[in-house]
Structures are given as structure tokens and as C-alpha cells.
Amino acid sequence: MVESICIFLGSSPGVNPVYARAAAEMGRQLAAHGLTCVYGGSNTGLMKLLADSALEAGGRVIGVTVQALRDKEIFHPGLTRLHVVSTMHERKMKMVELSDGFVVLPGGIGTFEEFFEIYTLSILGFHSKPFGLLNINNYFAPLDALLDSAQAQGFLKAPHRDVVLRADTPDEMIRRLIN
């Protein structure tokens, strides 16, 4: 049973307002489905919009960060809970522990790294939780092309390529994760 979803997304808003709308809608949809939102805890960019919208819709939001960032960044003051760990690896492992599935929204290098860690852990059998890319504004088309190329060149097996869920809207993604 899926009770909590970890969302990986940008700590900046991006240049196109469609990303902000998608992050806010994801927060609302998580709350509407009774799902706890797990994310990095930041009070900036898309991360703030996600948390704000989930909380405003009556949802639960859990942040997970590392002490080094806790000392530098501003974290969302309204979180249901904030976990502070020592390392980035511990942070991701805590997010895996707290979550029943994962959704990746547009973001930068940190978001890509989080996606690939979850993907790798899945391929290696360290978790069997569903995860997917929310392809807002066709943002992940280049990543899909890279993964297709890796498969075509023999570096990614078809079953491993097919495990990544894809959706264009938050509601569609949540429905894929919980069914």
C-alpha cells in the first residue's frame, strides 16, 4: 500500500511558470490522495511550492536534509516533520525508508543525481518501489533519449528501461504509482 511519495525537484523555480504550476499541483494531488509528501525540506523554488500547496490542502509534508545544509539554507517552517542527517547518502537512504514511491519533477544536477540513485537501487534490487518522471513541458525528453541510447548500445537492459514510469500530469503519475 502506498502511503508516502518522495518528490525530487528543483530548489529553483525554473524559467517557465509551467514548472511552478506542476509542483503546486503535485502537492495538492498528494494531499487529495491522502499521501504524505517526502522531499528535501527547502523553502525555495519548486520545493517551496510543493510543500506550500500540500500543506494548504491539508496534507502531511516531511523534509529530509543534511546538517551542512541545515546550517546554510532556510527550511520550510510548516513541515509536519524535518529529519536532519549527517551525509547526502544518509539523506537519500532516509528518503527511501520513509517513502513508498518516488516522483521526479524538473530540476538540476541534484535532482538528476537523486533520480539515478533511486533508479540504480531499483536495478540492483535494493528496493522495488515504483518511481517515475513527471514530464512537464517535455522536460525529460533528452533524458529519455539518453536512456534509449544506453539501451540501444547494450548498456541498459530492456526490463530495466521499462521500470521508469512516465506521466504528463501529477494526477496521472499518482494514479500510476498507487495502482
Check residue 104 and give its pLDDT: 98
What pLDDT tens digit does each residue of the chain (179 aa) get?
A: 899 999 999 999 999 999 999 999 999 999 999 999 999 998 899 999 999 999 999 999 999 998 887 667 778 889 999 999 999 999 999 999 999 999 999 999 999 999 999 999 999 999 999 999 999 999 999 999 999 999 999 999 999 999 999 999 999 999 999 98
* DSSP string across 68-116: HHHTTSPBPTT-SEEEEESSHHHHHHHHHHH-SEEEE-S--HHHHHHHH
CATH of domain 4-178: 3.40.50.450
Check residue 70 and give its pLDDT: 67
pTM of the model: 0.95
Domain boundaries, given as residue ranges, for the chain: 4-178
